């Protein structure tokens, strides 16, 4: 394919896959259940954080978490007492265990009580909000702010990525995509207005990276932060205003079509 062919192909596939029919079998369906901002933010953070593995298993685990929080995750996080954390006993999703669930609730509570919203907590580390290169600073600062909250155990840090250490930070980038990208197509949430879609980075996984390499958009072999930057820069050539909408194209091609 020529570069122009690749551009048209990706735009066509993004149009095909960014539709509400995408939602029901995706972790993104969880925050779509809620109307209150705090419920959307908290449930989306849990959903993105647990989004690895089989999607049926992911949704089953997320359903369990929402039930344990009385289907009001924002209220549970903000109003819980220490004894309420017992509801997470026995919870396991792959390597995410009850101690991590309890730590997430305590950390999110601390961030929300301090900053009011998770958007404001994220923006604390965003010194240049219109510069794509500043995303690594923001995500790194968020990682340390999260881990500094009382009650968070050191083992939980593997569930909140630190791109400064080379991590592709797939789940944090996916969380940002959900919260920032516009909701006019009925898929992403468009809840955060203080961050431009133009600075977002691709949630790099086995599907998006594989398709990116096959299309000549990614040349690095490792799925690390440098590859995130390389692939996102290529996608920005296709759509400089909203490059990460092409995540739908890359993921759909890889996961749905086996491209």
Q: What is the C-alpha separation between 199 and 201, in angstroms, rounded?
A: 7
* Model pLDDT for residues 75-117, shown as the tens digit of each residue: 999 999 999 999 999 999 999 999 999 999 999 999 999 999 9
Q: Is the pLDDT of residue 209 over 90?
A: yes
Task: Record the pTM.
Answer: 0.96
SS3 97: strand
> How large is the average pLDDT for residues 221-234?
98
- The domain containing residue 161 runs over which residues? 3-256
pLDDT score at 2: 87
Q: Is the pLDDT of residue 164 over 90?
A: yes
102: left (phi over 0), alpha (psi -120 to 50) or beta: alpha
> How large is the average pLDDT for residues 251-259?
92
pLDDT score at 100: 98
Domain count, the chain: 1
Q: What is the C-alpha separation between 159 and 101, in angstroms, rounded?
A: 10
């Amino acid at each position: 394919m020529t570069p122009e062919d690749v551009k048209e192909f990706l735009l066509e596939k993004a149009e095909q896959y960014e539709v509400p029919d995408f939602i029901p079998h995706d972790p993104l369906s969880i925050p779509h259940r809620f109307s209150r901002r705090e419920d959307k933010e908290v449930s989306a953070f849990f959903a993105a954080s647990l989004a690895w593995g089989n999607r049926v298993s992911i949704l089953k685990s997320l359903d369990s978490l929402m039930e344990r929080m009385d289907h009001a995750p924002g209220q549970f996080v903000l109003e819980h007492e220490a004894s309420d954390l017992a509801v997470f006993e026995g919870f396991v999703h792959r390597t995410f265990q009850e101690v991590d669930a309890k730590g997430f609730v305590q950390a999110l509570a601390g961030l929300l009580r301090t900053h009011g919203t998770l958007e404001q907590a994220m923006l604390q580390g965003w010194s240049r909000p219109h510069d794509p290169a500043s995303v690594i600073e923001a995500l790194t600062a968020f990682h340390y702010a999260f881990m500094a909250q009382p009650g968070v155990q050191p083992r939980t840090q593997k569930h909140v990525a630190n791109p400064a250490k080379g991590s592709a930070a797939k789940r944090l980038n996916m969380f940002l995509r959900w919260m920032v990208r516009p909701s006019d197509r009925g898929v992403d949430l468009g809840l955060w207005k203080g961050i431009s879609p133009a600075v977002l980075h691709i949630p790099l996984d086995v599907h998006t990276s594989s398709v990116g390499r096959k299309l000549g958009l990614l040349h690095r072999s490792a799925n690390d932060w440098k590859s995130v930057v390389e692939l996102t820069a290529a996608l920005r050539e296709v759509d400089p205003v909203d490059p990460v909408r092409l995540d739908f194209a890359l993921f759909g091609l890889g996961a749905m079509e086996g491209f």
